[in-house]
Structures are given as structure tokens and as C-alpha cells.
Amino acid sequence: MTTQLPPIHIALMQPAGYVHSLGLLDQARYVRYQLRRLGATVTLAKNRLREDSLNIVFGAHLGFAEDWRRRHACIFFNLEQLGAGGAAVSEAYMKLLRTSAVADYDASNVAAYASDPADVPVLPFLHAPYLESADTLPLADRPIDLLFFGSMNARRRAFIDRIEATGVSVAMFDHPIYGAERDAYIRQSKAVLNCSFYDSARFEQARVFQCLSMGTPVISERRPGARAPAAFDDAVFWIDPEGDALESFFSQHFATPAYLDEAPQRLAAFRLHDPVDHYADLLLFGVGFMQGHGINRLGSGDAGVWRPNLINLGSGKDYRPGWLNLDVQDSAEPDVVLDLSAPLSLPLTMDSRYGGQIELNAASIDVLYANNVLEHVPNLTQLMTNALTLLKEGGRFEIEVPHERALTAWQDPTHVRALNENSWIYYSEWFWYLGWFEHRFEMSGSSYLDMKLQPCSKENAAFMRVALRKIETTARERTLARTMQADLRLPEDAIPHDEAILIDTLAECTTQPAQPVPSSQPSARALQGKTLVSLAD
């Protein structure tokens, strides 16, 4: 009997503009590689989950909506050092780990959230063949002696100062850099330095494996109690930070001919280790979890069409997990490509690009959010009409736009309008101009923001933030609308069947002058059921 592998989707969580989420790329890429080796179909995206896949989530400590797990089967990959002396993560993240399926890179973390360690697959990051390159410079020819990258604190600063006191220069970046751009510097270094940020001092294999796989040696402290997978024992240059071992290594051994001879042997030792069995265990764990999630989802009634109550107009860097993200450009990777500035017929059922179906209904949305969108929209009246239709009564339309007096108003060549304080009058006070009748918007809040999106005065405004609330019009407002609009809005007053009167013929009326109707003619009630002949016949 063969086990059907589910499609795998790897999701990297990134708050808007948070560059350090790119530090998850190395580990996500490695997991993708190992699972593809085992025959799984694996996709990868930022902030997006798939309903039709097993989701492996990196970076959930940066924020993850707990109820998102109902529609998505998720395994959370923890890369944080947890427990005494570790990272200060939120209680929400710890609760998420305690109540979810989790994978980890270090067994020492597991006790902080799992009652049974056997429930958590522990996965090492070892040699990554895809990082090897035929163009790798010989160590002796590399221009950078020692490279350090990562967050800085007092402990790391003191460790680096000790090294530089021996005469070795430690190169560091002056701004965050990740991915291939950072790797280019790693390949030019004779070694990368690794030292602990936290007092827990867990070996940072998630950083070290990348360097060793590229053919760059790693020099790392090894504090008492710190454990590392056996694959790193012979691959890393280990230093005891206590005593004078550090000073002795850098003043007498580093970058010498003996070091240059020893380093390739250590790199070769690292290539001998293959973690495929661990990732096979993860895959089997995921198969069982995916099946259980499907059963639970059916039982909870969440297996049908998704009817969202939050809409984000925009995607790309502005993608909001847990919301329905709409965009007019497919390249922004929205949940659905949909233009709300075009006529909208509701209810509307759509296929999500991330699996499953989505249904939009009138008066179903609590919040609709548009961040720097309205200045691009060709038909703003139609968009505002659709927004009013979609929102529940009391629902909010939260808007952020460049202020017309700011340079931000016209710096983008795709802008079609500028907006100011008067731009919202038609949607509130003059709603009847737009053909609205039963509902309108009212301004529930507004503020000015500077270039850093901080509150400011109107004189310094780069952006304007507005909140509109959908409200029912009053009797007086509807009377005004009847007065000003062309449509009188009268009901059709359907005639009941027993009140309908049909006339047999009126043809004589076209050739003879009208005559008084004798009292002997049948009454109107007696004409019921006769055929009506048009005057044109």
C-alpha cells in the first residue's frame, strides 16, 4: 500500500516591511529541497497559506492568526531558542505551539511547549548540495578574513572585541542583508564567525549549515552545555570562550598555512552527512496530520466555501493573512484578481489561487481596507458603491491616501487623482448624487501622517488616513434623495389576479368617435377574462 503525499506549501510570515523575515529564507529553502527529494510537490510563498496543501509555517512568532488553522492544515517550524535564557517570545506564540503541530531544529526547545517530546519532529540543517559552486575561490585568495553577520548585543560585541584585539579584522554589515546578496560576501571570506546571542547558547546550526555548504569554514564558540548535531563536530572550528583559547587560535592558527590545509578537510567531513531520514519522518508526520485535519474540519463545518468578513484592497507587500486580499494585478499574488472599480454582481463565488472557493455577499464585510489604492483607481465612484454594498451596516472602510499638498500625491506615475479633506463629501453628505438611497458613509475618523506614517499637522502631512462607516440614511435624507434623483423610486404595485381586467376589443375606437357608454353595456367586472386587443392592431 502506497501513501499519497499531500502537496506541501511553505509559508514565511513577514510583517509589512520587516526585512529580518528574510532570515528565514535559508531554512525554508533547505526544507523545500529535502521534501522534494522525497517526491513531494512543494511551493513557497510569503504570508500566504494554501487550503489544498499541508502548510509548513516559518516565522509564526512574528504574528499568526490562531483561527487561521481552521481552514489550513499547519505545522509550525520553530527556529526560536525557547526556555530559560532564550528568546523573549509572546505568550500568544507559546500558546500557538502548545496547541498546534510543531517541528523544531533543536530538541532543547521542545520542553518549553510540548508535554511529550516524541510528538515533535526534530530536524537538523546539514549539507545543502545546491549551494556548492564550481567558481568558489580558494581560501587563500579570499579578500575577507573573518565575517560576522547577525544581530548585535553586548555579549557578541565583547566576543568580537577580543578577536580584534589579536589583530584579526572582523568584517560586518552596516545594514541588514540576506539571501544571495549576503551569500556573495560569505563566499569571499576565509571564515564566518558564530557566537551566541542568548544565554541559552544553543548552537545556531540554522546559520552555520549555510556557510559550510558554500565551502566557507565556520569558527564557533562552544559553551558548556551547548549541544550540536554530530555532523558539526568535525566540520566546525570550535573554540572554548573561557580562558585564552580564543586569543591563541586567532593569533597563532587562523589564516596560517596549517589553517588553510585543515579547513577543506572539515568542509569535506560536513558533506558526508545526510538528514534524509529525519525529513522522511516529517513527511510521514505531515501525512497523518493532514488527514486528521481534514476529518476535524469536516466535523466543524469549515470544509465549504469561505465567506470572509475582512477585505484588503491590495496585495504584494501589503498582503494581510486571514483577510481576503484582492488586487487587479496577478503579479501581486492576491487571493483573487478582482477589480472592485468595475460593476459587481453579488453573490459572487470565486476560486482562490491558494485552493478552495470564496463567496462574497452583500452586507457581509466588517472592515474593508485600502492602503494607497484609491489614487490609482480609474472609476472611484463604482469602487465606493461596491464598498458600500459589501459592508455590513456599521462596517468600516479604512483608507490611507497621499495628501494632495504633499510630494507623495503625484510621485507615482500611475496616480490618476489627488485627494484632500473634501474628497469624501460625495460619499457622506451628497450621497444622492451617486444614486445611493438607503445607506451612505459617515466620516468616523481622520488624521494626517508624515513620511514616516506618524501623526502630524496638516502642514506636514504626506498622507491622510480616513475611516468611513456605513450607516442607514434617515427619513429626511431619503426624502432629499427622492427630490434630487431622477428615479422616483416608486414600487411597481403588482395587480392581484382577481383584480385584473381584460377587454375583448377596442378596435372600434380607432375608426369611430367616442360615444357615451349605454347603461346596458357590461360592467367592468363582467369584462374579466376577455381578450385585450391593442389600439395598434
pLDDT at 317: 81
In what helix (H) or strand (E) does residue 441 lie, and over which residues does it extend? strand 439-449
Rounded Cα gap, residues 44 and 24, in angstroms: 12
Task: Residue 279: name the closest of 13, 64, 467, 27 by CA.
Answer: 27
Task: Residue 313: name the closest of 325, 331, 330 by CA.
Answer: 325
Model confidence at 527, pLDDT cuts 50, 70, 90, reads very low
Question: Mind listing the pLDDT tens digit for each residue in 102-113?
Answer: 999 999 999 999
The residue among 415 and 86 whose pLDDT is bigger is: 86
All three cell numbers of 431, joined, read 450621497
pTM, to two decimals: 0.83
Rounded Cα gap, residues 334 and 233, in angstroms: 45
pLDDT at 196: 85
3-state secondary structure 451-492: CCCCEECHHHCCEEEEEEEEEECCHHHHHHHHHHCCCCCCCC
User: Strand pairing of 439-449 and 463-472?
Assistant: antiparallel
Q: Which residues sit opposite 312 in a β-bridge?
A: 325, 369
Type of residue found at 451: M
pLDDT at 455: 93
**Residue 441 region by backbone torsions, left for phi larger than 0, else alpha for psi between -120 and 50, else beta:** beta
Model confidence at 224, pLDDT cuts 50, 70, 90, reads confident
Q: What is the rounded average pLDDT of the residues 456-468?
A: 91
Model confidence at 45, pLDDT cuts 50, 70, 90, reads very high
Burial class of 537 by CB neighbour count within 10 A (0 to 12, 13 to 18, 19+): exposed
Q: Which residue has the cell 385584473?
A: 500
Q: What is the rounded average pLDDT of the residues 414-432?
A: 87
Rounded Cα gap, residues 51 and 343, in angstroms: 28
Q: Which residue has the cell 460625495?
A: 426
pLDDT at 219: 96
Say yes or no to pLDDT of 514 above 70: no
Using a pLDDT cut of 70, give the percent of the chain over it: 90
